[in-house]
Each structure stands twice: as C-alpha cells, then as structure tokens.
Amino acid sequence: MDKLLIKGGVSLQGEIRIAGAKNSALPILASTLLTHETVQVCNLPHLFDITTMIELLGCMGVEPVIDEKLNVEVNSSTIKHFSAPYELVKTMRASILVLGPLLARYGEAEVALPGGCAIGSRPVNLHISALQEMGADIVVEDGYIKASVDGRLKGAHIFMDIVTVTGTENVMMAATLADGVTIIENAAREPEVVDLANCLVKMGAIISGQGSDTLTITGVQELFGCSYSVMPDRIETGTYLIAAAATRGHIKVKDTRPDILEAVLSKLEQAGADIKVGDNWIELNMHGKRPKSVSLRTAPYPAFPTDMQAQFTALNAVADGTGSITETVFENRFMHVHEMNRMGADIAVEGNTVIVKGVDTLKGAPVMATDLRASASLIIAGLVSENETIVDRIYHIDRGYECIEEKLQLLGATIRRVPS
Ligand code: UD1
C-alpha cells in the first residue's frame, strides 16, 4: 500500500487548477443509464471513484469510451445486466446511484446494500422508501436491494425525513422517466444536485426547483444524448485553500467557483485570510500570519460542509486560540482527531463536538488515513508539522483528490509518494 511522505514547514505559494467535482461526476455517469443515446461527460476528474463507476457500468455490459482528453462517452444500449455487485459497492458506496436509473428505465435493479463505513452507519432507507412510494417493489435479501416495477414508476409526493444528497439524486433520476409529476420535499440543495439536474435537463428532463428544498420533476417518455461538462470540485478547492491558510501561505486556485463556497470562504476570512475572488478563481493570502481559531458547525448546503470539517480541524490545531467544531451530518467523523493528537495536537472530543486548542506547531509522526476527507486533513497536519510525517492507507485519498502530491508540489510542498 502506497504512503505519502511529507516534510512540513513550507508555506504554500503558487497557482493550481481545480478538477471536476467527484460528487457531481458520479451521479452524472449513473444518469447515462437513463437513455439509449450517447452521453458525453467532460471535465471528469482523474480519480479512483470515477474508475470504479466506469467499471460498474462496464460490468453491466455498457462500454464507456474514454478519449484522449479524458472525456467519457457512454452509450448504455448494450446493457445486459441490471446489477451492481458487492465487490464494487463495497469499494464505493455511491454505486447506489445506479438504483434509480436502472429501475426507471429497465424496471429492475439489484444493487448490493452498502454497509456502514468509517464515518457512520449511512443507511439507504430513504432511497428505498421513496422509490417504493413511486410504485417500486423492493426487498432486501442476501445482502442485495432487489427492486422491480411493473411498467413505469409513478410520480409521487415525497418528503425526505433527512436531507440526503445521493438519496435526492437517486429519486430525481428515477422521477425523470416516471409517469406523472414527482415532488421531492426537504431535497438536498447541494451544488452537485443542481449540476446533475442541469445535466438531466440537457438530456430532455423536465425539472424545476433545483437549488431549493423542493424539486418538481415531470416524467417524460424518454431522455436523449447530450454533452455535459462537470462543475468544479468545491471540496478540492476548499482543501487547498485551508492547506494554504494553515501554512501561512499565498495561493490562487483556478477553474473553480467561489459562489458555491461562501460558508468556507467566510470561515477562512475569520481565520485571518485575505481572500480575493473572480468568476472562476480564488486567491488566498495569509501575509505570513498564523491563522486564528474558528468555530463551526457542519450541516447540509448552504451551511458549512461536513466534507471540509476534518481539514478545518487541522487548521485549528495550529491556530491561535481555541475553536469548537460540531459535526451534525455523520455520527462518527472524528477519526482524524486521534491521529492529530499523536502529532502533538490538543483536541478533545465531546459527543459530536471537538474542542481544538491551537498549539504552536505539530510534530511529524506515522499516521493512518481512515477515510477520504480525514486523509486530506492528515496531509494538512503533515504540512504544518516539524520534520517528517508518513500518511499510510492513502488509497482513500486517491478516491477523491486528483494528483494531490503533484498539485501540492506545484505549491512548493515537500511531499512524495512512497510505494510499499
Ligand atoms: C454525500 C456525499 C458525501 C457527503 C455527504 C453529506 C456523494 C457521492 N457523497 O454522501 O461526500 O459527505 O453527501 O454532504 O455525493 N441518511 C439516512 N438514510 C438515507 C440516506 C442518508 O439516514 O437513506 C443519513 C446519513 O446516514 C447521514 C445523512 O443522512 O447521516 C446525510 O447523508 P447523505 O446526504 O445521504 O450522504 P451521501 O449521499 O451518502
């Protein structure tokens, strides 16, 4: 298993480009199952999770074609099986996103039931109950969600008990081909849900309310091919900005979108960052100063994203003052805290809150990544440490960050991948 070796103490400086958003690319790739025509997906990030989704389409008999610009063309008319096997679902929970499209277009789907993961139990009960309300017959048997429907799904009025991102996406995709109108209340407002909706509309779907908590989808008989470019990754953007703030640096991130990062940019300003934005770029300058502690609470968009909680914990670990961070989306998302304490951080976990007392500097240590965003936070901790940090189990990071060591090297960091 590869490791990352980081020599800390360098202030990040320079410019990098942001990749396409993983969490928007995955549902968009799944949505290609809704039409027999060819969908071209552009600006796909080069990530392990994307490869897994392409492999998943492949094992159903669909043969995505990748061109030299890494655009992917998917024509799902060769599909033979309507199932997502456990071997793939266990490596990527987002495989559940094929459930809605398969059921809506082919009337049947078998998707391995994702288990719990490092950050929480993560059930998919709301995906299942919403599809049942739309007329699907669903049983969970032998570790699989087995779903079928006689004829078309039917439009329904669905209230989501909890805001769920992939749940909203699954139901929205299914509703595009249902008979009648579907209303999803308490829908997720995340920009990636909006990006998927925009792609579906380009394929001929009738959707309104994207970006609000009520989505209205009028089912159509069929969807068509199109070419769609995935939006920039706001979590990747935020991660580099936080790394720059923690290291007292000055960076510019390009090909991104400041308008969907307001909660994060406002916390970075509170931490003392000088921030300038243009249409598609963000510049952060700490003027060499130590960051100030910030307190925050994660919640669904437009509030502060849970996917950026661990990175801010790393920033607070070396900031001036004490900050509290409350996690309200997942029940067990503090695994990184124990690793940071091994590096000399002073962080106490109290229920779903961590109290972070900033220390002058961390000390490098061998640490272990437990999930995707925790890995990013340990890299940030390594960048602000004296001497050397080795981050183990970095396959987590390759799921969601494109060429992370190359991008950090471009910003001046001393980081390299060490094969085991
Ligand atoms: C998506 C993102 C992930 C992000 C998360 C929250 C993708 C591929 N992943 O994950 O990066 O951290 O949103 O912003 O887009 N829940 C239920 N029942 C359900 C579904 C969800 O109880 O049927 C709960 C979850 O356990 C969790 C909360 O709802 O506590 C939110 O989860 P959800 O938004 O569904 O997360 P994902 O869509 O899996």
Nearest residue (CA) to ligand 1, atom 20: 124
* Cβ within 8 Å of residue 197, ≥6 positions away: 172, 205, 207, 210, 215
> How confident is the model over 180-185, as a mean pLDDT?
98
Tokens of 151: 């004829």
Does residue 99 sit in helix, strand or coil? helix
What's phi and psi for 30, nearest 5 deg?
-65, -35
> Is 127 a pocket residue for ligand 1 (Cβ < 6 Å)?
yes
Output the average pLDDT for the chain: 96
> Is 301 a pocket residue for ligand 1 (Cβ < 6 Å)?
no
Query: Which of 128, 165, 332 has most ligand 1 atoms within 8 Å of CB, for mutation?
Result: 165
Q: Are 385 and 361 in contact (CB under 8 A)?
A: yes
| Dihedral in degrees, nearest 10, Cα atoms 9, 15, 19, 24 | 80
Q: How many CA atoms lie within 13 A of 156 on its CB side?
A: 17
Quick: pLDDT tens for 334-350: 999 999 999 999 999 99
**Which residue numbers are catalytic?**
117
Helix (H) or strand (E) holding 395: helix 395-400
| pLDDT band (50, 70, 90) for residue 68 | confident
| pLDDT band (50, 70, 90) for residue 160 | very high
Say whether pLDDT at 208 is over 90.
yes
Quick: pLDDT tens for 275-298: 999 999 999 999 999 999 999 999
Quick: pLDDT tens for 111-155: 999 876 777 778 999 999 999 999 999 999 999 999 999 999 999
pLDDT of residue 116: 67
Ligand 1 centroid, distance to 63 Cα (angstroms): 29
pLDDT of residue 220: 98
Say whether pLDDT at 192 is over 70.
yes
Quick: pLDDT tens for 210-229: 999 999 999 999 999 999 99
pLDDT of residue 294: 98
> Is 304 a pocket residue for ligand 1 (Cβ < 6 Å)?
no
pLDDT of residue 286: 98
> Is 400 a pocket residue for ligand 1 (Cβ < 6 Å)?
no
Say whether pLDDT at 51 is over 90.
yes
* Cβ within 8 Å of residue 37, ≥6 positions away: 75, 223, 224, 225
pLDDT of residue 148: 98
Give the rounded percent of residues in the chain with a pLDDT score beyond 90.
92
Q: Are 310 and 374 in contact (CB under 8 A)?
A: yes
Give the rounded percent of residues in the chain with a pLDDT score beyond 70.
100
Ligand 1 centroid, distance to 167 Cα (angstroms): 8
| pLDDT band (50, 70, 90) for residue 369 | confident
Helix axes 165-176, 191-202, angle to 10 degrees: 10
pLDDT of residue 36: 97
Say whether pLDDT at 370 is over 80.
yes
Helix (H) or strand (E) holding 130: helix 125-133
> Is 22 a pocket residue for ligand 1 (Cβ < 6 Å)?
no
> How confident is the model over 314-319, as a mean pLDDT?
98
Ligand 1 centroid, distance to 168 Cα (angstroms): 10
